[in-house]
Each structure stands twice: as structure tokens, then as C-alpha cells.
Chain A
Amino acid sequence: MPIALNTWLARHAQTLMGSLGRIVQHPIATAMTMAVIALALALPLFFNVLLENTRAATADWNQAFELSVYLAKKAGAERAEALAKQLRTRPDVARVRVITAEQALVEFRESSGFGKALELLDTNPLPNALVVTPSLAASTADGTQALKVHIASLADVETVELDTEWVQRLNALLDLVRRVIWLTGGLLALSVVLVVGNTIRLDILNRRAEIEVMKLVGATDSFARRPFLYGGIWYGLGGGIGAVLVVAVATALLAKPIQRLIGLYGSQFQLRGLRFGPAVLILGLSMALGWMGSWIAATRHIRAVEP
């Protein structure tokens, strides 16, 4: 039994390396096939990396509802402080931050890029404002809504904005984007199967004579098919490695500009590349796709090769 197993393993190992050797013999054709697979897989993979980053960056926005309270123009900084003090005593309020009109103008000037234009203004167009963070217990849709109504009823309060709608919209959008990525990913995975299948079909046609001879001396279809299945797995592995590299390079190229863009919004954000686990998963997936493509093509076309 161990001897039979050893023989079996040795034979498979030999076929595995043999198929690799044959693939390497045609480096350009092999590289092209692997590049097609790599690009097909890299596209959905890269968008998924971006999507995951967006989700990570917006994750904490989901919980921390904040109420932006804009005071009437006539209400001064003292009035703002007084209102803040009053609100802080409420049990459904965790924090209140006062942003005076001057602070707001300075911040806006720095981050908006309208600095020069703002200098032309005689008076500060911005009102004093409060940023109210509800307590954890009140951080529900109903709780924040009740707080909003209360604050709106206070004197000198012009408008109260509850920024939940756009968070919900963002989440719905991200969901949609994720579905689109899965859909394109599925279609591109199918195209990988077809690309490998077609490559293997050509391989079989090129080695028709050899398969004929093998069948003449008693090779079964599954024996003749084996090197092509391994070939498909190699194509898949090469393409998968290529896809991971493409995504790594693309992420590295985009990290700086994205960081600068996010920085403009006053946020500290690090673009996360493809992590180890998903990368390994992608290699496994691409090998499986390669195997599938070669299996379909080889099963069909090897049966058709008759001496």
C-alpha cells in the first residue's frame, strides 16, 4: 500500500513538473495567457480593495451621529457657550463642541482652497455653531430625532442638521458597488475559465500526435489529460500571482494621492493593501479556475483525439 501510494505520488509529481517544464518552454505564449488571467482577476480584486478601504474609513460614521446646530447670525459666541452649557446637562447628550464663526472661517480657509476668495469678504459669513454628540443610549434613530426636535425649539437656533441620511445613502451605494464588483468578478472569473480552456485546447491540438501515440500504446483518456490539468493549474497560479502583484502595485501608486485627498477632509487614513489571507485565497481561486478551464477543454478534446 505505501509503495503503491509512493508510486502514485511520484507519478503525479513527475507529471506536475513535466507540465511546468513544457509551459516554460513557450515563455511568451505562457506569459500572455497568464497576463490575461492576471488582468481579469486584478480588476475586481482591486476594486474590492478600494471598497474595503471605503468601508473601513466610513465604519465609525455609522455609530457616531452628530447633530450640527447652526445658530442665528445675531447670536454671539457667549450665547453659543451658554447653549452648550445648557445642553451638556441633558442625559441624552454626550458631548457638545462649540465652533465659533472665527474658528469655522479659519478651518474653511485652510481646507477648502477658497482662502484668497474669502479674504475679499468684509464680514464673516459663517454663523456660530455647536456640534452635539448624543449619548450612546440616545444614539438611535428615534433618540437623535427627539434630541433634534428639542434643540430646534431652543431660542437662537437657526437650523439643526442630523447627518444620517447621507450615511444611509452611502451604505446603500457601497452595497450596490459591492454587488457590481461581485457580478463583474463572476463574469471575469468565467472569462478566466474560457481563456485557460482555449489555451489548453490549442496545447492539445499542438500535441495531437503525441496524444495519439500515447493512446496507441494504451494510455487512458484520464492519463493523457493529466498533464493538461496540471498545465491549467500552473496557468491559474501564474495568473493569480500576477493579479496580486498588479493590485499591490496599483495600491502603492494610489496610496499617496488618496492619503492627500483624504487629508484634505481632515482625516487620518491609511490605504490598506491586499492582506495575506485574501491574497492566498485569490491564488487558490485562480488555480481552481485554471483547473476548471483545462478540465472542460481537455476532457472534450482529448476524447476527440483518436489514433
Chain B
Amino acid sequence: MIHFDQVYKRYPNGREALSGLSFRIEPGELVFLTGHSGAGKSSILKLIALIERPTRGQLFINHQNTAAIKARSTPQFRRSLGVVFQDHKLLLDRPVADNVALPLIVAGVPRREIDKRMRAALDQVGLLGKERNRPLELSTGEQQRVGIARAIIGKPPLLIADEPTGNLDPDLALEIMQLFKRFNDVGVTVVIASHDVHLIDRLGARRIVLEDGRVVGADAPHPGAAPSAAAS
């Protein structure tokens, strides 16, 4: 599903975030990227979402070399990807319904179908009935679940999340993580950047440990997934 091959990422300010990073994530896996802040977790997710491009090395997603995806095909690519952010990135002046439906609206899906799928997505995160609310009328945990509903409404095969529980207390964090696990159970590949070691241990999912832009340790691939060749 995801294959980093000797990827380097150097930002314009000269900081090298990734230094020859290589690993593989197979379809259907649930993987946590862990490590201290600045280890390169966010950079990896940005490269997967095509927000950033590798300085050197190659990144394959779904057997497609991302270097071959031109700017004009980027929107199409992103529609096959669900992204969850630590700060939700919700549109605060729009009701929950519009926020969740946004990926379908920009993809030009007919209104009637959008309504149906929007309700289904809200149902999956347990927020059915909050369609007309504004994001700020919801709790932090609920806002994060709106973000997740938006990420999964397009039924993407790949879901990535950057510190999705960063602002939540432990109970809520576990709830959110179990939500991700449920999507993984139905076949969605899920990659979560998190430094919450205790939580990751409780979930027992595969970990890729990063330090200074390199992989310094990785668990064996997810039991349910195809054999992986996670390199260090």
C-alpha cells in the first residue's frame, strides 16, 4: 500500500526531516508511527497526502510512484485518501453536515447521495443527529469524530491521522483509537502518527519507531496483512 524507498526530505529552511527513510505498509494494516516530536512523523504523513514531495528517494502509494502524480491530478489522488488532523481542520462557519460532506461536494457527487452518505458517516462515528450543529457547539472529542467522519465519507482505502488524540483525555483517546480500529477491521489501511505509547500498547497494533528521520525499530507486520518487508 505504502512504500518509502530511501526517502529524504529537506525543508527550505535547511532542516532535514527524513534521512533515507525506508519502510512498507501492506494493504489492510493498522500501523502507528511513533517517535519524539521532530522525528519525522508529520513529514511522512505530509508526503503521503502529497502536501510535500520527497527531496530524494521514491514513495509508492498503491504501486503508483507519487513523483508521477502531477499537480493537476493531485485532487483526484487525495479523494482516495482520508486524512484526520490533530486540530480537526473543520470549517467553523459551516454546520457539521457540510463539513462531513465536503469531500463528496468537491468531487461533484449528487446532493441526494451526499445526504445519505453524510448521515451514514455520522452514524459510524456516533454523531447522528448533530448535522445542524456548528463545530464549536461540540466537545473536542466530538469535533475530532466529525473530522474522522469527513475522512471516511469517501470510503477511502487508506486513512491517515496525525496525532488524532493529541488534545484528548485518555478515555476519549481510547474511544477514538477504537474507532480507527473498527475501520481497519473492515479492510481500510490505517496509518496513525502518535506519541502516546501507552495507548498504542493497549491496542497492540504494529509500530514503526522513528528517530531523526530514520526508522529505528519496527514491529512485525500486522497478523492479518500480507507479508511485509519493513526495512530499517
- Interface of A, helix, strand, loop or mixed by DSSP: helix
Q: Can you list, as one digit per residue, whether each of B68-86 has a CB less than 8 Å from chain A (1) or not (0)?
A: 0000100111110001000
Select A218's contact among B78, B89, B90, B110, beta carbons within 8 Å.
Answer: B78
A272 proximity list for chain B (CB < 8 A)? none
- If A306-B51, A307-B51 touch, whether A214 touches B106 (CB-CB below 8 Å) is yes
Q: List, sorted by A's number, 14 A–B pairs whose CB atoms are closer than 8 Å.
A: A210-B91, A213-B90, A216-B49, A216-B78, A216-B89, A217-B78, A217-B106, A218-B78, A218-B103, A218-B106, A219-B106, A223-B75, A307-B49, A307-B51
Q: In the assembly, what is the distance between CA of A11 and CA of B106, in Å?
A: 10
Closest CB of chain B to A88's CB: distance in Å? 83
The reply on A54 being an interface residue by CB < 8 A is no
Give the B interface residue count (CB, 8 A): 21
Q: Can you list, as one digit per residue, whether each of A296-307 has a CB less than 8 Å from chain B (1) or not (0)?
A: 000000000011
Closest CB of chain B to A97's CB: distance in Å? 77
The reply on B174 being an interface residue by CB < 8 A is no
- Residue of B with least CB distance to A10: B111
Residues of B within 8 A of A (CB): 49, 51, 72, 75-79, 83, 89-91, 102-103, 106-108, 110-111, 150, 154
Closest CB of chain A to B201's CB: distance in Å? 31
Q: In the assembly, what is the distance between CA of A213 and CA of B75, in Å?
A: 12
B78 proximity list for chain A (CB < 8 A)? 215-218
- Residue of B with least CB distance to A4: B110
The reply on A145 being an interface residue by CB < 8 A is no
- If A216-B49, A217-B103, A217-B150 touch, whether A7 touches B79 (CB-CB below 8 Å) is no
Select B89's contact among A209, A219, A223, beta carbons within 8 Å.
Answer: A209
A212 proximity list for chain B (CB < 8 A)? 89
**Which A residues, 1 to 40, have Cβ-Cβ distances below 8 Å to chain B?**
3, 7, 10-11
Q: In the assembly, what is the distance between CA of A212 and CA of B49, in Å?
A: 13
Closest CB of chain A to B19's CB: distance in Å? 24
Closest CB of chain A to B24's CB: distance in Å? 25
Q: In the assembly, what is the distance between CA of A209 and CA of B111, in Å?
A: 24
The reply on A103 being an interface residue by CB < 8 A is no
**B75/A220 in contact, CB under 8 A:** yes
